[in-house]
Amino acid sequence: MGCPLVYLPAIEAHIPQDIVQTFHTFLELCYIIQQNVITDDTLSNLKNALEHFHHYCEIFWDVGVWMGGFSLPCQHSLVHYEALICLFGAPNGLCMSITKSKHITAVKKPWWQSSKYRALSHIL
């Protein structure tokens, strides 16, 4: 797929600059977190990028995208990364694929084999 940062200039003329900056700082956070070695300077860069990300996220309120239905649940964990890296070390490319595969095994496969009657009660 290539580096997602190369797509930012393509969308820059079509969306507000703060949205472009939000994507840019989020990608910067992702690149910082995926480094093999994380130093004090890296943690400082992570903290600065996170502050910028939260600053630029306000654009979604301003343009009316975030009016009750839109949320950023996966990004919430970013506020904990600095402390978790200090406690446990670099995530070193850890991704959601392990969690996703376990979710498929534990939830989706039994669901596919069930009667699919009253779906919500089965899921909860």
Question: Considering all CA atoms of the chain, what is the largest pairwise distance in Å, rounded to the nearest integer?
Answer: 54
Per-residue tens of pLDDT for the chain, all 124 residues:
456 667 778 788 888 888 888 888 988 988 888 888 889 999 999 999 999 988 888 887 777 776 665 556 567 778 888 888 888 887 775 665 656 666 667 666 666 666 666 666 655 5
CA 122 to chain centre: 28
- Helices 78-88 and 17-33 pack at an angle, to 10 degrees, of 20
Q: How far apart are CA 108 and CA 114, in angstroms?
A: 10
The CA angle 80-107-92, to the nearest 5 degrees, is: 35
